[in-house]
Amino acid sequence: MDASRRTFLALGLAGLGSGLSACGAPPTTTPAAPSSTAVSPSPSAAPRPLVVGAPSRVLTRDPVRAWDSETFRVLRQVLEPLLGVDPDTGAPTLKLAEHALSEDALTHTLTLQRGLRFSDGTPCDAAAVVANVGRWSEAADGDPLPSAFVAAFGGGIADPDSAFAAVEADDDRTVRIHLSRPLRHLPAALGSPAFAVSSPASWAAADADGVSPAGTGPYRFADDAEAAAVVEALHMPGETTVLAPNPEHRRNLPGLPVAAVPAWGRASTRLRELRRGHADVIDVVAPGQLRPLVEAGTQVLPRDPFSVLYLGFNVDHPLMSSLYLRQAVAFAVDRPRLARSDVFLQGTAIADGLVPPALGVGVEDAPRYEINPERAGRLLEQAGYEDEPLELMHPAGVAWPCLPEPERVAAMVAEDLGVVGIHVRPVPVPPDQDYLRAVVERGSRALHLRGRDGLYRDAHAFLEPFARSGRAETRYLNPRVVEDVDAAASELDDERRRELHRRAHRALLLDLPALPLVHPISALATGPRVGSYPSSPQLDEPFDRIDLRI
């Protein structure tokens, strides 16, 4: 991706209090080098806070319990994983540590950079990393939501299927993760925000959502008094997460500003605040907003597609357990209409699979489920369906990069199903609830809308949750799919690995725990203070890499 599509948000502020005094100051300009903070502060006044209008709220401050793009957007600014992501290739790179792999591919050695400290002042050393690995694994126990640890290692620490064998600290800077079998995707997975490292000392400081962790990122979570002062000064509508500069950051970023991330679920609200100059960046631009934004000279930055929107099925449901009924739904949903609709940006493509095409594991002979109402009707008869209502869960009052208007998409799906005689009962989930948890905990659900973003560039990230770690979402289990996904994870030959992924992918498309809908294009827009923004298909968009005109 070229630099103009990868530059974005960075601001400067020497201290939170001085930033508040400048909230009403007019913007000035200074470009930034891509390798450091993008802001040069004025000698007379600290820069105004950076305001990033998000389409939904932060659900948790705990990365081991996070699953959605908006939560990860904020957590990435505060908490960092051991490895990074190359903005051009998506390959794992140095972040907090250098990575080395043993000849037998069973030991991953991570050598931490010198002098790392968390924002609470405690050292980010090998002992802290070992404690984090333990916490990642513990989060996998007893929670029905998908576990990043299970997804990466194939099970919890005590699970006999897990590839995880042990973790140890050789010295203050060296951590070794020992495996019982190779895991090709592990370095990439360790670069995902779900494996962010936080201060063990901060875990005891519980807040209403669980923990407020201290990290090594350019920002820290503002305390309640700091956050209230920022929100009041900005007259910010909506629930707002406030981030303050981390004084312990290893790059010693001068002039980094406070960042405010308000949750504005409506596209019209985000656009209004951008036009008023109250927002520097807004995400999930609606197709109908493109022309007026471009005509006004606003910078609009599309992301390359690296996600999939799908219709999930609860295969434990007494009706949806029938493959005939799931196939009937698949042949009834007009996916070309969805892709062409004004819900999605131009370039959004029909999804023939559950993995983005860029990862190269498409299945040539898989069923395509082209729109066919007559065939859907015959399948309904075979399923014995008799107009029973089927619950369709969808988020409401929010937007995601992969699902910009959930209510409209749900209405289009319900309309298509109604054409063939399937009775749909919409179940909207309000924005103050955790959508995925609501889906998992509602046993009566039949259908639900969900998107999966690629947190790292490996087919494992898309296939494994359907096979194992995300089973609670669809209740689907096929031991052969689990076997193929596990075999691919350990396969050292690239072509053989791709073939195993294709075989697992084909089985998923035949068994239909979920119907792929589209690979969406998403875009963000920036205000006049932003020169460039580091847009990323993987949504790895650090605020301190922005070219910001103060």
- pLDDT surpasses 50 at 445: yes
At 45, the pLDDT band (50, 70, 90 cuts) reads low
Residues 334, 272 within the same domain: no
Residues 182 and 100 in one domain: yes
Asked whether the predicted pLDDT for residue 524 surpasses 90, the reply is: yes
Arithmetic mean of pLDDT, 436-449: 98
Q: For residue 368, with 0-12 CB atoms within 10 Å meaning exposed, 13-18 middle and 19 or more buried, which class applies? A: exposed
Q: Is the pLDDT of residue 208 over 60?
A: no
Tell me the mean pLDDT in the region 236-248. 92
| pLDDT tens per residue across span 351-371 | 999 999 999 999 999 899 999
**What pLDDT does 212 receive?**
86
Q: Does 144 lie in the same domain as 18?
A: no
212 falls within a domain: no
pLDDT at residue 31 tops 70: no
Does one domain contain both 382 and 500? yes
pLDDT score recorded for residue 145: 87
For the cut 80, the answer to whether the pLDDT of residue 125 exceeds it is yes
Residue 185 shares a structural domain with residue 251 = no
- The answer to which of 165-174, 341-350, 541-550 has the lowest mean pLDDT is 541-550
CB 156 within 8 A of CB 139: no
Asked if pLDDT for residue 12 goes beyond 50, the answer is no
Query: pLDDT digits over 79-102, tens only?
Result: 999 999 887 777 889 999 999 999
Q: Is position 351 within any domain?
A: yes
In the chain, helix, strand, coil percent, each to 5?
30, 20, 45
pLDDT of residue 140: 62
How much is the mean pLDDT over the chain? Answer: 90
Please state, in angstroms and rounded to a whole number, the distance separating the CA atoms of residues 158 and 272: 51
| 271-307 tens-digit pLDDT | 999 999 999 999 999 999 999 999 999 999 999 999 9
Has residue 461 been placed in a domain?
Answer: yes
What pLDDT, on a 0 to 100 scale, did the predictor assign at position 144? 82
Residue pair 155/162 in contact by the 8 Å Cβ criterion? yes
> Of 27 and 331, which is predicted with more confidence?
331
Residues 285 and 314 in one domain: no
For the chain, the domain total comes to: 3
Q: What angle do CA 122, 126, 130 make, to 5 degrees?
A: 100
What pLDDT sits at residue 141? 65
Using a pLDDT cut of 70, give the percent of the chain over it.
Answer: 90
Q: Any idea what the CATH number is for the domain that residue 510 is in?
A: 3.10.105.10
List the CATH number of the domain containing 189. 3.90.76.10
Residue 209 domain flag: no
pLDDT at 23: 36
- Comparing 35-49, 118-132, 290-304, 462-476, the range with the smallest average pLDDT is 35-49
Mean predicted confidence (pLDDT) in 142-154: 89
**Residue 36: helix, strand or coil by DSSP?**
coil
Global model pTM greater than 0.85? yes
**Predicted pLDDT at 26:** 34
| 187 and 221 both lie in a single domain | no
Judge whether 205 lies within some domain. no
CATH of the domain at 23: 3.40.190.10
Host domain of residue 113: 80-200
Same-domain check for residues 250 and 294: yes
